[in-house]
Amino acid sequence: MSDVGISSIAGYLPRLRLSKKSVSQANAWLAPNLVGKGKGTRAMANWDEDSVTMSVEAIRRILGTNDDRSHVDSLFFASTTMPFSDRLNSGIIRAALTLEEQTECIDIASTLKSGTSALIQALDKVKSGNSKYSIVSAADKRKARAASPQELDFGDASVALSVDTDNLIAKYINSSSLSIDFIDHFRQPGEEFDYNWEERWIRDEGFLKIVPKAINDLFDKTDIDGSEIDHFIIPSVFPRVDQMIAKKCGIDPDKVVGNMALTVGNTGSAHSLLMLASVLERAKPGEKILVCSFGNGSDAILFETTDNIKNFKPHQTIENLIETGVEENNYLKYLTFNDLVKWEKGMRGEQDRKTALTTLYRHNDAIMGLVGGKCSKTGTIQYPASPISVSPNSPELNTQQPYKFAERKAKILSWSADYLSFSINPPNHYGVVDFEGGGRIMIDFTDIEKGEIDSGMEVKMVFRVKIVDDIRGFTRYFWKAIPV
């Protein structure tokens, strides 16, 4: 039987990093106990990002720019903050990535160990031969009340990896999984925030007892012990808990992987795998990596790096992602982006944003996948496709072949920064972009600050939230342009 494991991995962090000092200082009058946590930054999603859009971005980083993605035959999406309770969230991701309709899409939710659980499922699926190439992505954008510890601890991010039998950078050895109804926090549908129990109990009865149990189960299965582990991954917001678990399991505390608490924050379902990405970008062949998670139980997964790891070049390393973040010192902007303050949206913000679902389905490839058309007679490329080609003086009928725009670079032809139209992050930047190879779209720009834009500038496409229909509870997605 051939080996199964990970052939590629990539993380995604939103551009902004909220200064924790800006948060703790603003809340010091109310929560002086949190002033000590006001160090470093946490990843802060733009208003138009959610767990689905962040996953799309991470997966694009492992799939590359090739139009042909037919090799992806299964997709697991893990999150505790899925935008929809009843609409296949991984199906949204599939549509955005223009994966085949036959790609089996599975949502795995409801626990912070959903990321590792999804990975175990994908490994089993590929190992059993039911899938040849599987994508696992985990993402979370968790909300927290203002002046809560969670606000400072959490971070927004995603990660994606491919499970394969070829070109493995990390071979799967084995895994164990415990499901225990230990409720350190909970959140029912419709609730915005977690309800949390006492930290000391979570640490002592939860992390320090449940995680070692999962690890020891795995060690028993694989006949290895802690001394053989080269990288130990266990996300926790409690200081030194990872070291304490390592010690309990016979793992050298020096092998504990840094949890990015002061740069990214704890990214929920994504965090174990994001830490794994940070390990794989610097690991050497033959190293054993123990990936653990905690959430109503615990998962423990063991990998061993292969020789291919020497040639592994991630799209962007986690280290580089951390370095290239832009610090945001405006705590109110964070609160506004996350709808945590009642702010004046003006009458223009009252516009009904109902989405015609019939139209969305009829144009699903165009809207979700940014697929346009190429005229088979004139070669003219256009967005969106139309019954009659836009080719000047050559109105060919029914000649449009699907043409994918999402992975193509473009240049700004014209733009404006609009203070009049409703925007959660004014001014509203938008303009006409011309694509390499042909085609153009007038499109919103995002992840851009005032004064950062000009005609001729290179941009790339990102999948984002277009609007949120508060009346009906519907998130409308589309593509936007960001500076390269």
Residues within the interface to other proteins (CB under 8 A): 346-348, 351, 353, 355-356, 358-360, 363, 366-367, 380, 382-384, 386, 390-392, 413-423, 427-428, 430-432, 434, 438-444, 454-456, 466-467, 476, 478
* Euclidean distance between the first and the last CA atom of the chain, given in angstroms as a whole number: 43
Take residue 324 and report the two structure tokens written for it: 């290239």
Nearer residue to other proteins within complex by CB, 129 or 426: 426
Nearer residue to other proteins within complex by CB, 75 or 481: 481
Q: Which helix (H) or strand (E) holds 201?
A: helix 199-201
Closest separation between CB of residue 438 and other proteins, Å? 6
Nearer residue to other proteins within complex by CB, 67 or 436: 436
Closest separation between CB of residue 434 and other proteins, Å? 5
- Sequence-distant (6+) residues with CB within 8 A of 80 are 109, 110, 111, 112, 114, 140, 142, 187, 268, 269
* Residue 167 region by backbone torsions, left for phi larger than 0, else alpha for psi between -120 and 50, else beta: left
Which residue, among 361, 213, 226, has the nearest Cα to 300 in the 3D structure? 213
Nearer residue to other proteins within complex by CB, 26 or 482: 482
Closest separation between CB of residue 462 and other proteins, Å? 14
Nearer residue to other proteins within complex by CB, 291 or 390: 390
Closest separation between CB of residue 351 and other proteins, Å? 5
**Cis-peptide into 427, omega within 30 deg:** yes
Closest separation between CB of residue 99 and other proteins, Å? 21
Nearer residue to other proteins within complex by CB, 205 or 339: 339
| Degrees to nearest 5, angle at CA 11 with 457 and 131 | 115
Q: DSSP 3-state assignment of 375?
A: strand
Cα separation, 86 vs 322, in Å, equals: 34
Which residue, among 21, 19, 11, has the nearest Cα to 55 in the 3D structure? 11
Nearer residue to other proteins within complex by CB, 49 or 281: 49
Closest separation between CB of residue 307 and other proteins, Å? 46
Closest separation between CB of residue 477 and other proteins, Å? 9
Which residue, among 361, 163, 384, 380, has the nearest Cα to 276 in the 3D structure? 163
Take residue 431 and report the two structure tokens written for it: 């303009």
